[in-house]
Amino acid sequence: MDGIVKNIDRRTLLKGGAALGGGVIASGMPLSQVIWAAEGKVLKVALQFELVSLDPGFYTSSYEVNVMNCLYSKLTHFKPGSEWGWDLEAAEKVEQVDPTHIRFRLKKGIKFTGGYGEVTAKDVKFSLERIINHKSGSMGELGSFDHVEIEDEHTGVIVFKTPYVPVWTITFPYASGHIVSEQAVIKATKDGGNFGMKPPAFSGPYVLAEWKQNQYTLLTRNPEWSGPKPGFDEIRIVPITDIKTAERAYQAGDVDFATISLDSLTTFKSNPPPDTKVEEHPSLRTIWLGMNMDNPALKDINVRKAIQWAINVPQVVGTAYGGQANVATGSIAPGIVGHREKALVPPEGDLAKAKEFLDKAGVSDLQLTLDCDNSGIPGIIAQTIQAQLSQIGIAVQVNAQDPGSFGTIGQESEGDRWKGMQLFIRNDNSLPDPDYYMGNFVKAQVGIWNWERFGSDRFDELSAKAVAIEDPNERAKLYYEMQDLLEESGAYRFLTNGATPIVYRTTKIKAATRPDGVPLYLDFTPA
Amino acid sequence: MLFYLCKRLVLAVTIIVTAVTLLFLMIHAVPGDPAAILLGPRATPEMKAHLHQQMGLDRPLVVQIVTFFRGLLRGDLGYDVFSQRPVADIVFAQLPYTIELILVSIFWAAAIAVPLGCYSAMRRNSLLDESVGVVAVATIAIPSFVMAVYALLIFAVALRWLPAIGPGEGFVDGLVHLVLPSFAMGIGWVGYISRLVRASMLETLGENHIRMARSFGISEWRIVYRYALPLAILPTITVLGVGVAWLLSAAVFVEVVFARPGIGALIVQAVNARNYPIVMGVVVVTTFLIVISTTVSDLVNASLDPRAREKL
């Protein structure tokens, strides 16, 4: 009771009194809007994730990176717009000295909060090397990174063991490129490890003013920030894990920006809430049907090809996404280097040809299992494929599992489940570089993330070569061939890359996103 | 009374030990590796082993259970390596939101259902009694998450009378934000409690001491509220105590639908991420909560009924 009474301050009482006094009915606004209406330039956004860590070296989800972008500076950042590109951020200059060395020079005057001084090359070195030293899950973003050599306070050279081109599209502008204060992190964690949700210092335009788990994250302007000022005084990020709830929250006026589900897109387009802009962006996702090549039922390539040809991809996409997503031509999403113009197997498939393959395999009354996660869309895809395969006499049993269980079904370290796994729907997120898409299909990943257990020396050779080629056109050719190899194995039927529809209130904000619809809050401007 | 409380304490410990041990066995039997989920596709076996070590998952199951209980005796629910925070801090930060949601749901469900049940009993087989019966069964039949979705669509999205999400800030705003979720959770209880009160009241109204009171010319309303209700309400209080467990389950859905903080939303996130320390922490706390609520309902029963007091 004491706590309750203490919570009632004058402001709260006035807000509550005013709201309850009839303002609600008079204005037609929900109470929450009435209460927050008069509080400066506040950006209110829905985030489909509850933050777990704001440490760029140990983050757990891409959603956390959206927030980190506001809190820390990094050498480069993604440009908003419809084409992938990057701009300098904390770096005054970044240049490729030779294939394994990149020199950077930091802008002067970027300060850490809390009296931790200026952002220096030493902090860049610390920020990158701690990821390796602590064997963080972000290590994959650093590729063949080895160490950083410091030349002077603001200049350093990033050294790679072997050439690594994705440094420009992943390492620098994404999560692991964020610069944290060595002094502050060591003081907070002793060993330079994960500081979780307690960032000891900030180097970006905003600071974390308040974080209430499962309630909101409040970012306010960094008083020590000397760079260009973003458009909003505060960013209020509301975690709404259920996308349908996020849609309702937007419709009710509780947030002004939200990502919506693809199955709601038609409704939002045909009957948008007032003052709303609906935007569709291609996604970086890749969703495919995989086949375990080591399973006895799928060892024969003719069986796998029969399955490939029996699947009508536009039909699957139409059923699962209401036709609002693309038909994939391969693993790599549109707009990314290596995206193929078309698949080897026509998207519509061909039932007659599928039956031919099945006859060639001499198989009849085939019964297979199809595993997927139970997050909704994969289940619909699985059921559609189940119906399609029944047309060539293959009976499919769909096993939908929770994401935690499904996520390890093909991993040898998790027991023998991988042996019984036959067909499965993978729905993987990615980053804007082809290496991130293809890295899971190399032989070293068999039994880890290569659940098809596909193995090809040629593929591995191309994969190793492709990360070192700077010319995007030349690089793309290798990825075309790699996707061809995957498809020729019969173990893959690429379905879609999905899409990311967003909505925002045009009377309040002008949203800015990456080409894949991921919000760049720093580039949002008030309407 | 002291013996009763000691007995309850022993029972609480036994229930917690049993629940935690069962849960420990279950979560380790279910496939899914937190390291694989957290570290994602680029995780090497070395990185996974490192995280297993940090989480203590590399140790034998028995050692993990013993370590957990040893920590529990010190009031330590463990450490969440994902967010680098003590589990107790995480769980207890969320718990008040679930408790307030449950209490408000029970409060207004009882405030509506008890008078409704009494009135139905007094006007047995009348049109109102029949109507209340039909509505009661209908509300019991509708799951709370369905009610939550429609309440949200109608009152937050279409009418815009109430906020859609979150817990609000401060006391008044917090209450406003509680209206829809507590309605969704409590509505099923209105039907259930009103039926229970009606049945119990009919039985009590037929007893000798009530007939005696009537023969003295005491008004019907006084008989109902002064003499019958204190006895007729006893089964309802017991049910409300046990009902906390049911409401905790309902809170999981309601908290997700209304994007409210609380241990329901927390456990959903933790189970999906296979974040075992959080799952264990929530289960310990909810088990304790259920034991407390049943104890409180027994004590309230005892205070209302001298016969029950003698059994304590």
pLDDT digits 0-9 by tens, A66-75 = 999 999 999 9
* pLDDT higher than 70, residue A449: yes
Least confident of A33-42, A477-486, B45-54: A33-42
Instruction: Specify the 3-state DSSP secondary structure of A211.
Output: strand
Percent of chain A with pLDDT over 90: 83
* Residue of B29 and B79 predicted with greater confidence: B79
* Residue of B33 and B265 predicted with greater confidence: B265
From chain B, the residues in CB contact with A195 under 8 A are 84
Looking at the complex, report in whole angstroms how far the Cα of residue B265 sits from the nearest Cα belonging to chain A.
Answer: 8
pLDDT value, residue B309: 65
Residue in chain A nearest B84 by alpha carbon: A196
| In contact, A409 and B31? CB cutoff 8 Å | yes
pLDDT value, residue B308: 67
Q: Do B42 and A141 touch (CB under 8 A)?
A: yes
Determine phi and psi for A98, rounding to 5 degrees. -150, 175
Q: Please state the rounded mean pLDDT for residues B207-233.
A: 88
Provide the angle, in degrees to the nearest 10, between the axes of the packed helices A301-310 and A351-361: 160
pLDDT tier, A7 (very low <50, low <70, confident <90, very high otherwise): very low
Kindly report the number of other CB atoms within 10 A of residue B292's CB atom: 14
Reported ipTM: 0.74
pLDDT digits 0-9 by tens, A215-234 = 999 999 999 999 999 999 99
| Chain A interface includes B166 (CB < 8 A) | yes
pLDDT value, residue A33: 45
* Residue of A245 and A38 predicted with greater confidence: A245
From chain B, the residues in CB contact with A132 under 8 A are none
Q: Do A240 and B177 touch (CB under 8 A)?
A: no
pLDDT digits 0-9 by tens, B140-162 = 888 888 888 898 889 998 888 99
pLDDT tier, A400 (very low <50, low <70, confident <90, very high otherwise): very high
Q: Do B85 and A197 touch (CB under 8 A)?
A: yes
Q: Do A407 and B36 touch (CB under 8 A)?
A: yes
Could you write out the DSSP letters of every residue in A212-235?
ETTTEEEEEE-TT--SPPPS-SEE
pLDDT digits 0-9 by tens, B166-203 = 998 888 999 999 999 999 988 888 888 999 999 999 99
**What's the first-to-final CA gap in chain A, in angstroms?**
42
Strand-pairing partners, residue A298, are none
Q: Which of A15, A31, A412, A438 to mutate to test the interface with B (most CBs of B within 10 A)?
A: A31
Q: Do A448 and B45 touch (CB under 8 A)?
A: yes
pLDDT value, residue B310: 66
Q: Which of B160, B175, B253 to mutate to test the interface with A (most CBs of A within 10 A)?
A: B160
Residue in chain A nearest B259 by alpha carbon: A240
From chain B, the residues in CB contact with A240 under 8 A are 165, 259
The model's pTM is 0.82
- Could you give the CA distance from residue B118 to residue B108 in angstroms, rounded to a whole number? 16
pLDDT digits 0-9 by tens, A18-41 = 443 444 334 444 444 444 433 569
| Chain A interface includes B310 (CB < 8 A) | no
Q: Do B156 and A35 touch (CB under 8 A)?
A: no
pLDDT value, residue A21: 41
Report the 3 state secondary structure along B190-236: HHHHHHHHHHHHHHHHCCHHHHHHHHCCCCHHHHHHHHHHHHHCHHH
Q: Do B170 and A411 touch (CB under 8 A)?
A: no
| In contact, A33 and A236? CB cutoff 8 Å | no
Looking at the complex, report in whole angstroms how far the Cα of residue A228 sits from the nearest Cα belonging to chain B.
Answer: 31
Kindly report the number of other CB atoms within 10 A of residue A413's CB atom: 15
Q: Please state the rounded mean pLDDT for residues A129-133.
A: 95
* CA contacts within 13 A on the Cβ side of B180: 33
Look at residues A432, A440, A525 and name the one whose alpha carbon lies nearest to residue A482: A440
pLDDT value, residue A15: 45
What lies within 8 Å, CB to CB, of A179 at 6+ separation is A72, A73, A74, A75, A90, A119, A123, A124, A127, A203
Closest by Cβ to A30, choosing from B45, B83, B161: B161
- Could you give the CA distance from residue A103 to residue A92 in angstroms, rounded to a whole number? 11
| Chain A interface includes B249 (CB < 8 A) | no
From chain A, the residues in CB contact with B168 under 8 A are 32
Q: In what helix (H) or strand (E) does residue B282 lie, and over which residues does it extend?
A: helix B276-304
